[in-house]
């Protein structure tokens, strides 16, 4: 049976329906990088100097030069602008600090794991060196016996050569 293409289902019946609610989507990593950039900018002396110059110029234009006054009520617009900046800057700085704390925690965990592994390896190597020292100490006592055995082997080889006719391989 041929079903027309327009009547065929695009999604199987076993798949749940997606809701039609539109929600804003953002990349948390990109937003975090943005917040760190803002925190780095706001936390500089250059930004503080720039902001101070803007505020001083604003005050001069609105308090001293009455013909250039653009803030009708004394400094209400300036207060609003600075409050708006603070309202956005504080959460962005907190987000950047949270991300930095998470990175510091991960680095701390990794450093602790590396330190544990290094300590374990150092203890293993210390045990190996101790066992080698013990083995060398035991060989040192037996060195006289080994030399005697080598002399016996050498003498046996000399007798064997004499018995075979004295031909030595070159």
Q: Return all residues near 161 (Cβ < 8 A) that are at least 6 apart.
A: 167, 168
**pTM score, whole prediction:** 0.51
115-155 pLDDT, tens per residue? Answer: 999 999 999 999 999 888 887 776 665 667 777 788 888 88
Q: Which residue's entry shows tokens 């080994």?
A: 146
**CB–CB of 62/69 below 8 Å?**
yes
- What CA–CA distance (Å, rounded) separates 125 from 33? 44
pLDDT of residue 112: 96
Q: How far is it, in rounded angstroms, from Cα 164 to Cα 158?
A: 10
What is the percent of the chain with per-residue pLDDT over 70, rounded to a whole number? 85
Spatial CB neighbours of 87, under 8 Å, sequence gap ≥ 6: none
Whether the pLDDT of residue 168 is over 60: the answer is no
């Amino acid at each position: 049976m041929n079903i027309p293409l327009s009547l065929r289902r695009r999604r199987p019946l076993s798949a749940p329906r997606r809701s039609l609610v539109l929600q804003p989507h953002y990349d948390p990593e990109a937003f975090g990088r943005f917040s760190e950039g803002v925190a780095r900018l706001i936390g500089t002396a250059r930004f503080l100097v720039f902001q101070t110059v803007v505020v001083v110029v604003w005050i001069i234009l609105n308090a001293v030069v009455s013909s250039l006054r653009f803030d009708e009520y004394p400094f209400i617009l300036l207060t609003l602008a600075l409050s708006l900046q603070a309202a956005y800057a504080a959460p962005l700085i907190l987000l950047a600090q949270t991300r930095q704390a998470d990175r510091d925690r991960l680095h701390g965990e990794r450093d602790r794991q590396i330190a544990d592994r290094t300590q374990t390896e150092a203890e293993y190597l210390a045990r190996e060196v101790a066992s080698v020292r013990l083995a060398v100490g035991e060989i040192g006592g037996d060195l006289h016996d080994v030399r005697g055995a080598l002399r016996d082997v050498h003498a046996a080889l000399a007798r064997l050569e004499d018995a075979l006719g004295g031909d030595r391989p070159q």
